Amino acid sequence: MKSIFEKNLMLYKTRYESPIGELTLLSDGNSLIEIRLYKSRYPSIASNLKTVECDDLNVFKLTKTWLDKYFSCEIPDIKDLPLKFIGSEFQQKVMSLLCEIPYGTVTTYKDIARKINPKMSAQAVGNAVGRNPLAIIVPCHRVIGVNNNLVGFGGGLEVKKYLLNHEGVDVSKLKTPTKGNAL
């Protein structure tokens, strides 16, 4: 199988209008490999690759249905989607742990780090979470800093608050730290 980073590999994209703005969905033709939020601070995993607009791929239909359910306050199952995690072994481990965070709950970067290795730093997990290419579906928005600090989200903290509130999390108890990166 070809690597996602081979220049001659064809990637497909489509758009999805959501309550948090336009999302760009990216696929290798079979699996969903990225959901880009309109304000993402990291470059696309396919920023130097050729992409073609294609709205009728089955993976895009499944993803749009999943997102429709999510934004309609249903709890769609992540297992309903063919996903491909692109990243290092460590990033993939973190993405796997993110998928275990139940809808409407939060956990901390530190808690995720401890599940991987008792000596692991929250910052290492924060870096991996920050590069999550499958935002919303792989729920990186459910990860907060210690002491209920609302930190880190590629689409901005207002979008993170929206998603958490949408899931029923009491965002009034979350605070934005004024100094440092309180992971």
From the list 102, 130, 147, the residue with the least C-alpha distance to 40 is 130
Q: What's the rounded Cα separation, in Å, for the pair 167 and 162? A: 9
Q: What's the rounded Cα separation, in Å, for the pair 150 and 145? A: 6
Residues recognised as catalytic = 140
